[in-house]
């Protein structure tokens, strides 16, 4: 399987969290916003959930249209956006495309949005 999704996720996410304590660079903020924008759609969140919970951890477009109640072209559109954002990997098998989550991309987003633990202040240490 091609590892395009993983490569995209690794190159498109900033190296530093906007919550790390240092200002995030404009270009990094724009890249992170693009990935978050891909996530900020109910149908796409459901797609990630459906794919992750599939028996093999992957799903075909043909398996996703009925649960979402959307047409195949609409589901394919959402899957393309998630793949371009680096959140899904796509593998073509015959006439169908199968999708699976890129765990490292999901983990990287979680890490970027998790503030670092606060150091104990002198007052709290007393």
CB 6 within 8 A of CB 87: no
Taking the C-alpha atoms of residue 88 and residue 103, their distance in angstroms, rounded to an integer, is 9
pLDDT of res. 25: 78
Q: How far is the CA of 29 from the CAs of 12, 80, 116, in angstroms?
A: 10, 22, 18
Which residues is 97 bridged to in the sheet? 92
pTM for the structure as a whole: 0.73
User: pLDDT category, 6, cuts 50, 70, 90?
Assistant: very low
Q: How far is the CA of 30 from the CAs of 42, 105, 110, 114, 117, in angstroms?
A: 21, 16, 17, 18, 25
User: pLDDT category, 106, cuts 50, 70, 90?
Assistant: confident
Q: What is the dihedral of CA 67, 72, 73, 79, to 10 degrees?
A: 50
pLDDT of res. 109: 81
* Backbone φ and ψ of 119, nearest 5°: -70, 145
Map out the domains of the chain with their CATH numbers: 4-118 (1.10.10.10)
């Amino acid at each position: 399987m091609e590892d395009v999704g993983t490569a995209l996720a690794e190159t498109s996410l900033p190296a530093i969290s906007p919550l790390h304590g240092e200002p995030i660079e404009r270009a990094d903020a724009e890249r992170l916003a693009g990935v978050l924008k891909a996530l900020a759609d109910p149908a796409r969140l459901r797609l990630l959930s459906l794919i992750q919970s599939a028996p093999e951890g992957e799903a075909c477009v043909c398996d996703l249209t009925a649960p979402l109640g959307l047409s195949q072209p609409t589901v394919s559109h959402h899957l393309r956006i998630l793949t371009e954002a680096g959140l899904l990997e796509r593998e073509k098998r015959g006439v169908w495309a199968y999708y699976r989550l890129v765990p490292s991309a999901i983990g990287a987003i979680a890490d970027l949005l998790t503030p670092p633990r606060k150091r104990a202040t002198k007052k709290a240490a007393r």
